[in-house]
Amino acid sequence: MLDVKPAPRTHAPPAKAWRNYYRIYRVMDLGRMGTVFPGIHGGPDTFPSKEIAEEHGRAAVNAINWPNRCMIEFEGAFPEGDRAN
């Protein structure tokens, strides 16, 4: 009668690792990342979910920036393999 077939998968599987990206405005020595120059850079860690990555990214930016100064901005969390450009 009716041939029932499963719907085709049109979406990519969910990301298993997320990496934070930061915009840096001056030359800085950031410990595990080493010396970084102005531009957009990926963080050293990966996280299991986007929410956890964003939480850690915002905390890192708040810890690095001086009061009333912006030396680094959080650009967002992206799946491993994608880049923030």
Average pLDDT over residues 47-64: 92
Residue 1 has pLDDT above 70, yes or no: no
- Domain span at residue 49? 18-79
Going from the C-alpha of 39 to that of each of 4, 27, 49, the distances in angstroms are: 52, 10, 25
Question: Looking at the domain assignment, is residue 10 inside a domain?
Answer: no
Question: Looking at the domain assignment, is residue 41 inside a domain?
Answer: yes
Could you tell me if 75 and 54 are in contact, meaning their C-beta atoms sit under 8 angstroms apart? Answer: no
What's the pLDDT at 38? 93
Give tens-digit pLDDT for 6-48: 877 777 677 789 999 999 998 988 888 889 899 999 998 999 9
Q: Which pairs with CB-CB distance under 8 Å and at least 24 residues apart come from 27-33?
A: 28/64, 28/71, 28/72, 30/64
Q: Looking at per-residue confidence, does 84 or 33 come out higher?
A: 33
What's the pLDDT at 84? 65
Question: Looking at the domain assignment, is residue 52 inside a domain?
Answer: yes
Question: Looking at the domain assignment, is residue 50 inside a domain?
Answer: yes
Q: How many domains does the chain have?
A: 1
